[in-house]
Amino acid sequence: MGELDGKVAIVTGAGRGIGEQVARKLADAGAHVVVSDRDGAEAEAVVGALATPGAAHVGDLTGAGVCDDLVATAVDTFGRLDIVVNNAGYAWDGPLHKVTDEQYQAMLDIHTVVPFRVLRAAAPHLREPAKAEKKAGEEVFRKVVNVTSLAGVMGNAGQVAYASGKGAIVGLTRATAKEWGGFKVNVNCVAFGVIETRLTAPVGTVGEVEAGSSGEKITLGVPEVVRQGFGMAIPLGRAASAEEAARGVYFLCSPGSDYVHGQVLNVSGGLSLGMAS
């Protein structure tokens, strides 16, 4: 018996990296997972490897109606929705004086607007069952986990647009927590430091991603000189693996976090960007 048996989860950006590892952990605990990603082949591969029956949802979540379709896929396929993990995102970096309107908007769209739209679509499926459960004297917890970054909590030079989007999701998390607490929907946030994913791989080794409304190609990764400094900046001495990062998300999806609400959990190995949170 798994502690999430019968639960239904959505994980965005789950075709690889942290999202994939979150999906695997949720399924290993018994949940049915809808794997959302722009890359259909990657999403289908993850679903095929899950421990429980899942479903793939393929699409650009920034497109009109796509977030609504994602939630409908979960409910139509499995009949309910219990867990939402807003993980999808990428970095389009640059100093403030060089950031374009399109670049800035793209970071807000994927990191703040998309989670808002997903939660708006999910709202009736998370809130309405709670009303019936309250009448019956039952207390059933559902979960929302949004993903931010230390850049969104503390700021980071060269990431003005990214930090703005990641910072805004903290406000979305805490406001939603205040609205949905009465429905026993735990709403929390995970702030990641340096995680070994495509975003932190050596620049030029992991391909590109289409960004913004124009579909501009953004090269993923960070310069090697930056990577070499990770170990010195992180008290634990190294970046985390995607699997280690996913453990923090899983905790906030599990019954162990039933009395954790409206919080930002730093999963960073102790990394600080030089400013108090």
162 carries an active-site annotation: yes
Q: Which residues contact 47 (CB under 8 A, 6 or more apart)?
A: 33, 35, 54, 55, 56
Please pick, among 90, 104, 162, 250, the residue that the annotation labels catalytic. 162
Instruction: Give the number of other Cβ atoms within 10 Å of residue 19's Cβ.
Output: 30
Distance CA 49, CA 57 (A): 15
Q: Which residues contact 59 (CB under 8 A, 6 or more apart)?
A: 36, 38, 66, 69, 70
Radius of gyration (C-alpha) of the chain in whole angstroms: 18
Tokens found for residue 46: 């993850």
Asked if residues 54 and 34 have their Cβ atoms less than 8 Å apart, the reply is yes
Please pick, among 7, 143, 166, 184, the residue that the annotation labels catalytic. 166
Please pick, among 25, 90, 149, 254, the residue that the annotation labels catalytic. 149
Asked if residues 248 and 240 have their Cβ atoms less than 8 Å apart, the reply is no
166 carries an active-site annotation: yes
Q: Which residues are catalytic?
A: 149, 162, 166
